[in-house]
Amino acid sequence: MSAVDAVVIGAGPAGLATAQQLRAAGLKPIIFDRADAVGAVWRRHYDRLHLHTPRSLSGLPGAPMPAKYGRYPSRAQFVEYLESYAQKFDLKPEFGVDVRTVRRAGDGWRVEAGARSIDATSVVIATGWADFPNSPQWPGMETFAGPVLHSSVYRNAAPFSGQRVLVVGFGNSGAEIALDLCESGVAATLAVRSPVRVLPRDLFGLPILGFSVAQRFLPARVADAINAPIIRLAIGPLEPLGFKVAAKGPMRMIEEDGRVPVLDIGALAKIRAGKIAVRGGVARFGPHSVTFEDGRSEPFDAVVLATGFKPDLRGLLPDVKGVLDALGRPLVSDHATAEPGLYFVGAIASPTGQLRQIAIGAARVAAAAARRLRARRG
């Protein structure tokens, strides 16, 4: 069996960007996605979603997003962009193909994709994390009478009209879903267990991400120290609103813990106005109520778990050692890994935005795969 140049797994932003860069480097990648269209995950995100990162810093290599999309493109515009990106560069992913395993085969890789077995010189894993929702369990949860859904299946507030909804978790999805519910007249409460960091999406009329990009060569600790007074002024005190503030600044939080701070687009104002309630962590569920860690119980009709994702790639890479941590997360993304010819793109949080990081990682990984192919061909 002759080896293909590269297999790219995933036709989201990371897979498309890497395939485009591989093509630009002269390789002929095959792209697989288990879904039926490019950007499948973005097609199912909640309706009101806009990019939190500005258009100018979120484009994929070789094709900026059109200016008509405005500063923060909508979900639908981003899907349209991914479609036009694939078309422009003639990237033709094979859809409906679930890649089950990637294993070493000689000095290349064997990919079990649907009913096929393909040998490849390089494999790029761009599978994102959307297929790994983290849904914690609490005592009594099975007795709760209403729906308990993960944020990844929340679409809009319509099914919750007239209800009391608890949103568990205050990341970007939790903050925006609580805001969405509140703006639709639904009584929303946030359960927030961990200390938080919140940044304004815009500062002095400019996207905050632009400041992060300007400071990207500063040590995280130094950037945090410089920014702290300005952010405090822009955001206001969080403790009176019921939050605990993380000891680490936003840059350190991303760099050291891979946790992205909340970019506020309006939830804080609603909390300050008493329109969204904030409680501590969840302790247990009753049939019609939730008890918080401080012992207070409140009635709820539905619960949205904005509790993030826990990607675990051990199933995809059953025999490969040295590239995943104990939980199955890539140790290295957007660079060459310990295994020649095996790469991950898009698997790390970045202080300058994940889409921007994906564009950088795609170029780097494609260059490494091209060098490898040249070396193999002599």
- Which residue ranges make up the site for ligand FAD (CB under 6 A)? 9-15, 32-35, 40-41, 45, 49, 51-53, 58, 98-99, 126-128, 130-131, 173, 316, 346, 353-355
Closest distance to ligand FAD from the beta carbon of 229 (Å): 26
Query: Residue 35 or residue 283: which is nearer to ligand FAD going by CB?
Result: 35
Report the residue number, 15 or 261, with the smaller CB distance to ligand FAD.
15
In single-letter form, the type of residue at position 85 comes to Y
The amino acid at 307: T
Beta bridge partners of 94: 32
**Closer residue to ligand FAD, CB minimum distance, 196 or 283:** 196
Distance between first and last Cα of the chain: 19
In the block, which residue shows the tokens 């490849």? 120
168/283 with CB nearer ligand FAD: 168
Of 111 and 192, nearer to ligand FAD (C-beta) is: 111
Nearer to ligand FAD, 61 or 353 (CB): 353
| C-alpha pair distances (Å), 350 with each of 304, 338, 358 | 26, 21, 9
**Nearest distance in Å: CB 358, ligand FAD:** 6
Non-local CB neighbours of 151 within 8 Å, separated by 6+ positions: 46, 133, 169, 173, 174, 177, 304, 305, 306, 307
Q: Side by side, which strands form the sheet with 164-168?
A: 148-150, 302-305, 164-168, 187-191, 276-279
The token pair at 128 is 């994102």
User: CA-based Rg of the chain, rounded to a whole angstrom?
Assistant: 22
The Cβ of residue 373 has, within 10 Å, a number of other Cβ atoms equal to 20
Least distance (Å) between residue 58 CB and ligand FAD: 5
Taking the complex as a whole, the smallest distance from the CB of residue 41 to ligand FAD amounts, in Å, to: 4
Between 58 and 212, whose beta carbon lies closer to ligand FAD? 58
How far is residue 330's CA from residue 341's CA, in Å, rounded to a whole number? Answer: 14
Query: Taking the complex as a whole, how short is the minimal distance between the CB of residue 145 and ligand FAD, in angstroms?
Result: 28
Residue placing its CB nearer to ligand FAD in the complex, 12 or 108: 12
Q: Nearest distance from residue 352's CB to ligand FAD, in Å? A: 9
Q: How far is CA 115 from CA 54, 96, 166, 250, 317, in A?
A: 40, 11, 43, 45, 17
- Which helix (H) or strand (E) segment is 108 a member of? strand 108-113
Smallest separation, CB 289 to ligand FAD (Å): 29
> Do the beta carbons of residue 140 and residue 357 sit within 8 Å?
no
Cβ 218 to ligand FAD, closest distance in Å?
A: 20
Least distance in angstroms from the C-beta of 262 to ligand FAD? 12
Nearer residue to ligand FAD within complex by CB, 46 or 138: 46
Q: What span, in angstroms and rounded, lies between the C-alpha atoms of 361 and 341?
A: 15
Q: What is the DSSP letter of 99?
A: E
Residue 283, token pair as written in the block: 């302790």
- What SS3 class is residue 91? coil
Closest separation between CB of residue 345 and ligand FAD, Å?
7
Beta carbon nearer to ligand FAD, 20 or 127: 127
